[in-house]
Structure 1
Amino acid sequence: MDFGHFSEDGKEFIIENVETPSPWINYLQNGKYFALISNNGGGFSYLKSPLYGRITRYRINDVPPDRPGKYIYIKDLDTGEYWSLT
């Protein structure tokens, strides 16, 4: 199943099919602040310690769930393409 492709410069993977078999996670950190964000906007973040500095929900040893939550998608009715902020 094809979910997308790499950009021409190879620096990013462009997801074209949002129905991935499981969340595709991006890890962001600067040494103090950490965030894990899925392609659908699920995830969590914390400051210094995931146990004591959590900013959003955190589930130990678990993939960040994409549900429950609130998500907004815009669908082009002519082409069938979806768009989201994430």
Structure 2
Amino acid sequence: MTMFLQVYQVTVPARLGDGRQGVHVFTGRAGCSAEAVREARRAYDAATAARRAGLPKKVCRPNGWTAMGIRCHWRLTWPDATVRLWRESGLGEY
């Protein structure tokens, strides 16, 4: 049985040591919002590990979650992440 996976947007607050604030946004398919946060975090962790190893900056996980534009000195606050279903158009295959 194949589970239908919806496309989610995970928005994670980010902070820099000098007081600047922002967000990092991830999108991808998941079965529920908790899974979406887990997959976004995995994509982020894979991208930061690749960056430290000198590999390409864009890392696409086998399930489609990707992290791009990761800035090393910014700290993401994962407990404050918000999740919503992606309802926008123009995402190609989504």
Q: Normalising by the residue count of structure 1, what TM-score does the alignment of the two structures yield?
A: 0.30
Bigger share in helix: 2
The structure whose RCO (Cα within 8 Å, separation 6+) is larger is 2
**Which one has a bigger Cα radius of gyration?**
1
Normalising to structure 2: TM-score of the pair?
A: 0.29
